[in-house]
Structure 1
């Protein structure tokens, strides 16, 4: 079955590449996850709001973008290839994902070959051709996990990183100047969840910004537009500062 596991936006500005791993809740017809259709509108299936925000940012920055075209429940593209529990979760935020329960080694390999590897190989090829000076990774997170009602996530935006924090340390003060509640490696640590940026940014020694925005702040068109304006300014100023270092 022919299926494109990503879609590209070609903006012309080769200085910046934007990547959105969890842009879509789509599940191909030949994969049955065995879950209530309502879950496809929840964070377990998709990073809500990032598709629209990412497209607006590509337009505002006139930059290239790569957007994943299937749900993170089919295969989570921001997990290590050997992390089978995270790649195709049987349980996510307390929900049982029946179609991912008891997958055989061959079934897991089939999803990796069909979705995971082509996606990352495509990004590899773009980076080798474009050689961006800054990579943007766009995600969103929930105000609270349904499986942990005691959790509290006050951050409006978080910046995640592993070993390379060059761009992050420039961007954090800029975001605070916009009167935002900013988390550094919050609501979770980029030293743990950073697979895509580890491979495509850190391994290529390219500075990056991994933004995590709280999903309840990406529900309306006007708030998404506001985030686009804020991030456009922060990204451009970060790129200028990196050039001057």
Structure 2
């Protein structure tokens, strides 16, 4: 089995597979990265300047590189999304109002006005989540960790987000609370369900972890800290140690 393999297939021209799967050791940790890519398929026109896709509205800056680095250092599997959140937000329920954003942090997305929701769900959302569910079945993880990044300030509200890292969770805090404790003990400014609450937005982990009774957490790293190779390497080392410690506590 290859280290990196496409999950699913597509009949659309010039299109990527709906998910990237990195193989690893079963029975441990499964990493997820919903907003790994700013790719827009050639047959979809969003009507925005290409430069916008390189901002946080297009994808989670640094999250894909961090996920791949963690997968490599921990020897664990991962599933990454392959399409921009402006095409469809994979970290939303199919009926969520922000699934296909017409407006993102103050930027109008003209190509999403009147977009065919059902087609995009069938083309991207369903196969991506099917790939995650298959990985859960294949690897039987004891811990699921979703990797995200956040912008220090949203243009739409202007408020500063002071955290270096945030740990998000919904009802199941078995992994999140130890992670928050460890990060704070090490001096990191750590948000507890910040910069937004996992109790309000936790679609992927609700579906693939909590629904199966698997401990889980989302890790949100401030994107300026992981925008280059040095930052990714530093935070990969930090988080690999935190994830290993959390997992050890869970299996005691």
Q: Is the 8 A contact 1:18 1:138 kept in 2?
A: yes
Q: Is the 8 A contact 2:48 2:109 kept in 1?
A: yes
Deviations for 1:5-54, whole angstroms, at most 9, x for unmatched residues?
Answer: 11111122431110000000000000000001100100111000011111
Report how many residues are paired.
239
- Provide structure 2 residue ranges, at least 5 long, that are not aligned to the other structure: 1-11
CA RMSD across the alignment: 1.0
Q: Counterparts of 1:221-236 in structure 2 under 5 Å?
A: 221-236=229-244
Does 2:90 match 1:77? yes
Deviations for 1:41-98, whole angstroms, at most 9, x for unmatched residues?
Answer: 0011100001111110000100001010110111101111111x21000000000001
Q: Is the 8 A contact 2:26 2:139 kept in 1?
A: no
Deviations for 1:142-172, whole angstroms, at most 9, x for unmatched residues?
Answer: 00001222x1200000011110000011111
- Provide structure 1 residue ranges, at least 5 long, that are not aligned to the other structure: none
Q: Is the 8 A contact 1:66 1:123 kept in 2?
A: yes
Does 2:34 match 1:21? yes
Does 2:138 match 1:138? no
Q: Is the 8 A contact 1:13 1:62 kept in 2?
A: no
Q: Is the 8 A contact 1:158 1:212 kept in 2?
A: yes
Which segment drifts farther, 114-123 or 8-17? 8-17
Aligned to 1:125: 134
Q: Is the 8 A contact 1:14 1:64 kept in 2?
A: no
Q: Is the helix fraction higher in 1 or 2?
A: 1
Q: Is the 8 A contact 1:14 1:63 kept in 2?
A: no
TM-score by length of 1: 0.95
Deviations for 1:89-141, whole angstroms, at most 9, x for unmatched residues?
Answer: 000000000110122xxx11000000000111111121122210000100000
Q: Is the 8 A contact 1:13 1:61 kept in 2?
A: no
1:218 is displaced (CA, Å) by 1.1
Q: Could you tell me how far apart the structure 2 residues matched to 1:116 and 1:212 are?
A: 22
Q: Could you tell me how far apart the structure 2 residues matched to 1:130 and 1:225 are?
A: 26
Aligned to 1:114: 123
Q: Is the 8 A contact 2:25 2:139 kept in 1?
A: no
Q: Counterparts of 1:231-242 in structure 2 under 5 Å?
A: 231-242=239-250
Aligned to 2:193: 185
| Secondary structure at 2:56 match in 1 | coil
| Secondary structure at 2:98 match in 1 | helix
Aligned to 2:109: 97
Q: Is the 8 A contact 1:141 1:215 kept in 2?
A: yes
Moved over 4 A (4+): none
Q: Is the 8 A contact 2:26 2:140 kept in 1?
A: no
TM-score by length of 2: 0.93
